[in-house]
Amino acid sequence: MSTELARLVRAALTEDIGTGDRTTQWTVPEGARGSARILARSAGVVAGVDFAEGVFAEVDDDLSRDWRIADGARVTVDEELLLVRGSLRSILAAERTVLNGLARLSGIATLTARFVAAIEGTTATIIDTRKTTPGWRRLEKRATVAGGALNHRMGLYDMVLIKENHIRAAGGIRRALEAVMPHAEAAGLDVEIEVTTAAELEDALALSPDRILLDNMAPRGLAEAVARVAETDPRPLLEASGGIDLASVRAVAATGVDLISVGAITHSAPALDLSLQVDR
């Protein structure tokens, strides 16, 4: 278990168990052993097995865990994800933290998979954003990959993305790019800039960024941008963003953009319905 994952697991368990699981201590005899199963109550794509494993190991590494699935696996209603055996006190102490993490991350993977399926057959790729739960970004971005997406930048440090407020503060698109490009080249970082109009696109193309983010453009504007950029050399990647949902994503992909970033796959994904049941 990585240091980062261990820190998240311990924080989650401290939040839930605190000074002790009083209910389990007072209802389950010490030394009682048994088994339990995690079952899917809705269909979806699983993610977060490593988090769940970390929780069980932190609570009681003597628990035997027999996973029937892995991250990225599709599950159906009532399908068994895990059989865990050992101390019943340990299983019940770990239950809620395991289910919270597994359900949250599987929900992200499931919603991501729906977006990926919606653009099947096009040349576009779904990517995630930085709209993640504080502290959980790496796990949530791994969940989008389990659902079939690609990761955008991990944070502010590993790529330059010049957005509207940067442009305003710098005094315009060209000034922002001129200020950034030498530093980015020296640091080996890709540069992306946000544009909202055809005129802004022309300003951006003059400085040859690696990517151009087409923000809140209608499909017609996106298609025109794709046609315009096809004439350039080197050609930047085009990313569409802004309010894209399952109803509109297919039309966006059909314009020929390379990437479609969707914040909803992390910030608005409903948890996958899972339950843990102790065997009688």
Confidence check: pLDDT of 1 > 80: no
Handedness of CA 250, 252, 256, 259 (dihedral sign): negative
Q: Compute the distance between CA of residue 36 and CA of residue 100 in angstroms, rounded to an integer.
A: 16
Nearest to 177 by CA among 200, 151, 158: 200
Handedness of CA 138, 141, 147, 148 (dihedral sign): negative
- Looking at the structure, tell me whether residues 39 and 144 fall in a common domain: no
Cα 49 to the center of its chain, rounded Å: 15
Phi, psi of 168 (to 5 degrees): -60, -45
pLDDT band at 177 (very low <50, low <70, confident <90, very high): very high
> What's the chain's average pLDDT?
97
Confidence check: pLDDT of 129 > 90: yes
- Looking at the structure, tell me whether residues 151 and 106 fall in a common domain: no
Q: Compute the distance between CA of residue 90 and CA of residue 192 in angstroms, rounded to an integer.
A: 48
Nearest to 241 by CA among 261, 222, 225: 261
Query: What is the mean predicted confidence (pLDDT) over 29-41?
Result: 97
Q: What is the pLDDT of residues 80-118, one digit of tens each?
A: 999 999 999 999 999 999 999 999 999 999 999 999 999
What is the pLDDT at residue 280?
Answer: 79
- Looking at the structure, tell me whether residues 184 and 62 fall in a common domain: no
What is the pLDDT at residue 219?
Answer: 97
- Looking at the structure, tell me whether residues 258 and 125 fall in a common domain: yes
Confidence check: pLDDT of 47 > 90: yes
What is the pLDDT at residue 119?
Answer: 98
What is the pLDDT at residue 232?
Answer: 93
What is the pLDDT at residue 51?
Answer: 98
Phi, psi of 136 (to 5 degrees): -110, 10
- Looking at the structure, tell me whether residues 92 and 163 fall in a common domain: no
Q: What is the pLDDT of residues 130-175, one digit of tens each?
A: 999 999 999 999 999 999 999 999 999 999 999 999 999 999 999 9
- Looking at the structure, tell me whether residues 212 and 250 fall in a common domain: yes
Q: Residue 55: which domain range?
A: 3-116+269-278
- Looking at the structure, tell me whether residues 141 and 48 fall in a common domain: no
Q: pTM of the prediction?
A: 0.96
If one counts the domains in the chain, the total is 2
The CATH number given to whatever domain includes residue 52 is 3.90.1170.20
**Crossing angle of helices 198-205 and 173-187, rounded to 10°:** 40
- Looking at the structure, tell me whether residues 82 and 68 fall in a common domain: yes
Contact assessment for residue 159 and residue 179, using Cβ atoms and an 8 Å cutoff: no
- Looking at the structure, tell me whether residues 249 and 140 fall in a common domain: yes
**Contacts for 269 with CB less than 8 Å, ≥ 6 apart:** 104, 107, 108, 110, 111, 112
Give the residue numbers annotated as catalytic, written as ranges. 96, 131, 163, 194, 215
- Looking at the structure, tell me whether residues 91 and 206 fall in a common domain: no
- Looking at the structure, tell me whether residues 130 and 263 fall in a common domain: yes
The CATH number given to whatever domain includes residue 239 is 3.20.20.70
Q: What is the pLDDT of residues 209-241, one digit of tens each?
A: 999 999 999 999 999 999 999 989 999 999 999
